[in-house]
Amino acid sequence: MPDEKDNGRPLEDEIDDEIDDEIEIEFVDVEEAEPRLRSAPVEQPEASAKATDEVARLKAEVEHLREMYLRKLAEFDNFRKRTDRERQELKRTAAEGLVSELLPVLDNFERAVRHAEESEPAAFREGVAMIARQFADLLERAGLEAIDPSGGQFNPEQHEAVQRIEGSEYAPGTVVSVFSKGYTFGGRLLRPAMVAVAVEPISPVGEGGPPDLGDEAQGSGS
């Protein structure tokens, strides 16, 4: 006889009913979700449009910044060229002013040379000395200062030692003589003074012999 459950229904009928129930539930779930599935894609075009607008805005901003960079770069290049021209013009103007003031000195030198043979030696020397003072005064007004360290202490920042003098009456480090003056212009060193410097005498190697340490060494070992 067929296998039946307690309710008297065949087992096959109950299995069919359960399958039908599951199928109905699946169809119900799909029908309930269909409106949501249809409404979801409606938002995608708006989001895509916003993204497109944002990309376009960023591209326009990048292009604007690029144009600003190129414009500032061109302005800086023009400023550099203009500054170089102004610097060169300033140097040329300053040189013209100094040369124009040197012309009288040049005239006096030429006069002294022309009358050198017919002038007395003493008068000629006095004339040349006067021209030298005129020349020095002109350069001093322009900002030139002489460095004459005779008798002073050697300064490596302003002096250059070209000779060492040993055994002199000067203390070590004293400038004994000046071969050529140094000069500064506007507070900056143009040329160091060439000087001779007094130093302590250097004893010849081996003079007097090294100190005898034999006894001390023996005493320390005993």
User: Strand 175-180 vs strand 182-185: parallel, antiparallel, or unpaired?
Assistant: unpaired
What mean pLDDT is reported for the chain?
A: 79
- Please give the Cα distance from 186 to 195 (Å, whole number): 23
- Please give the Cα distance from 166 to 172 (Å, whole number): 9
Supply the pLDDT for residue 45.
66
Which amino acid belongs to residue 37?
L
* CATH number reported for the structural domain that contains residue 192 in this entry: 2.30.22.10
189 domain residue, yes or no: yes
Supply the pLDDT for residue 135.
93
Supply the pLDDT for residue 33.
57
- Cα–Cα distances in Å, from 150 out to 144, 167, 168, 221? 19, 18, 15, 55
Supply the pLDDT for residue 170.
86
pTM: 0.52
Over residues 101-149, the pLDDT tens digits come to: 999 999 999 999 888 888 888 888 999 999 999 999 999 998 999 999 9
How many residues does the structure list for the chain? 222
**Which pLDDT band, with edges at 50, 70 and 90, does 215 fall under?**
very low
13 domain residue, yes or no: no
* Average of per-residue pLDDT across 194-222: 59
Given a cut of 80, whether residue 64 has pLDDT beyond it is: yes
**Which pLDDT band, with edges at 50, 70 and 90, does 91 fall under?**
confident
Given a cut of 80, whether residue 34 has pLDDT beyond it is: no
Given a cut of 80, whether residue 199 has pLDDT beyond it is: yes
Cα 41–chain centre separation = 60
More confident residue, 20 or 200: 200
- Please give the Cα distance from 218 to 134 (Å, whole number): 76
18 domain residue, yes or no: no
Q: What is the per-residue burial (b if ≥16 Cβ within 10 Å, else e) of 28-55? A: eeeeeeeeeeeeeeeeeeeeeeeeeeee
Given a cut of 90, whether residue 80 has pLDDT beyond it is: yes
- Give the number of domains in the chain: 1
68 domain residue, yes or no: no
User: Which phi and psi (to 5°) does residue 207 adopt?
Assistant: -70, 125
User: In the chain, pLDDT over 90 holds for what percent of residues?
Assistant: 44
Give strand pairing partners of 4: 10
Which domain range does residue 170 map to? 144-202
84 domain residue, yes or no: no
54 domain residue, yes or no: no
* Average of per-residue pLDDT across 56-77: 92
User: Strand 193-199 vs strand 144-147: parallel, antiparallel, or unpaired?
Assistant: unpaired
**Which pLDDT band, with edges at 50, 70 and 90, does 28 fall under?**
very low
Sign of CA dihedral 88, 91, 94, 96: negative
Supply the pLDDT for residue 153.
93
Given a cut of 50, whether residue 217 has pLDDT beyond it is: no
